[in-house]
Amino acid sequence: MLTRWHRGGLEPDPFTALESLRRRMDRLFEDLNRGFGWQGTEPLAEVSTWPRVDVYDTDEAVVVRADLPGVEQKDLEVTLSEESLTLRGKRRVEAPPGYEVHRRERDDITFTRAFTLPAKVDADKVSAELKNGVLTLTLEKTEEARAKRIRVSTN
C-alpha cells in the first residue's frame, strides 16, 4: 500500500480539510454578524446596520422604533418622502474634560438607514419622540391606506 507524504506528515483526510473550511467560514460569518471594529484614522466610522430598528404596522399607523443610545436630538435627522423613511445621525463619544482615556471600545459613528414603508402615510400627521435612547416615530396612514371593513350579507 502506498501512502502519500507532504511536509507536515501524512496528507490530511479530505473530510478534515472540509471541516476546517467550514469552521473558517463560520468564523467569517460570525465576524460579519458582529461587525468589524473600526480601525481607521478618520474620526467617524460609517455603520450600515445601526441603529437596530423595528417597524410595526397597525390599522391606523406605521410605528418605527430605533435604538439610538448616545445620540442627541441635535445630531439626528429624520426625513419622510412618499413611502420612504430615512434616519441620519451621529453618535459622538468623548471623554469628559480632564479625564484621560485608558480604554476605548465605543466609537463615534455616523449612520444612514432608509426604509420603504409598508403603507402610504400622511406626512402632516407624524410624531417623533426620543426618550431613553429610543426613537419612536408614529406615522399615521392615509385614509386610502387604512384597512376597510366590508360587511357580508346573506340572502
CA distance 60 to 152: 23
What are the residues whose beta carbons fall under 8 Å from the beta carbon of 113, sequence distance 6 or more? 48, 50, 51, 53, 66, 86, 87
The architecture in CATH of the region 45-96+106-145 reads: Sandwich (2.60)
Does the pTM exceed 0.75?
no
138 - beta bridge partners?
A: 63, 127
What does 54-90 look like in DSSP terms, one character per residue?
A: EEEE-SSEEEEEEE-TT--GGGEEEEEETTEEEEEEE
Query: pLDDT tens digits for 109-141?
Result: 889 999 898 888 888 889 999 999 999 999 998
Query: pLDDT tens digits for 44-77?
Result: 455 557 889 999 988 889 999 999 998 999 999 9
Mean pLDDT of the chain: 80
9 - beta bridge partners?
A: 6
